[in-house]
Amino acid sequence: MTLFGVIGAMEVEIALLLQKMEETAAVKTKQIASLTFYEGEIGKAALVLVKSGIGTVNAALCAQILISEFKVSHLINTGIAGALSKNLGVLDVVLSTDAVYHDFRVTGFGYKPCIIPGMKKSVFTADSKLIEKAKNAYTSAHFVHNLYTGRIATGNIFVDQTSEKARIISDVRDLDGISPIAVEMEGAAIAHVAYVNQIPFLIIRSISDTADESIEKGEYKEEEAAKVSSFIVQSILED
């Protein structure tokens, strides 16, 4: 049985999906570790939806609970992100090809930035079938914003400085020559948990900002971007 676990960090990132669940069928709630998990359906797809809170530990906690307690078969992370690639515009959509921690540094022992010592992998690959499903959902929904696939960088830093943005791109690219195209604060943690549990995952993010000083000028589209990402997830589940 396919059961999706869907994680958003903030209320605005899950609100539309929860509303759609409530319109579709009865929604059950369960409290675990001070978190509220919503069990229900969108279309004919069964899912468990949760607001994790911001950051990698919160995201990983939710992902493992979804796997261990609810026995989800797939994980989807929905929400907003900052653009690292110059090609991305605000409200464009990014599907992860893979994900990596940009703030993992054990360089004093000879490791490259972003490498996790003791792990077979430090770059976590998204599920190709979910990527194709998301692409099809995007196409059928006739979104006006552009769709990109690429690497997502994750860390416990809200990136709003050009210097930090450049550092992230450089460190991640130094791993294997592949540059990240978007940055956020939860995706790689969810991908990490999915990897060790052998669960397929996908990160779906809409661009809210350009991860630089423009945020200080009010150029930050949190609510609008969260809605775009939610619509993609909804379209996947209704497909």
Residues taking part in catalysis: 13, 209
Mark out the alpha helices in the chain (DSSP H runs): 11-24, 56-68, 128-141, 162-176, 187-197, 222-238
Distances (CA, A) of 234 to 37, 194, 238: 17, 21, 6
Q: Are strands 93-101 and 147-154 parallel, antiparallel or unpaired?
A: parallel
Which 3 state secondary structure label does DSSP give 192?
helix
The answer to whether the beta carbons of residues 95 and 230 sit under 8 Å apart is: no
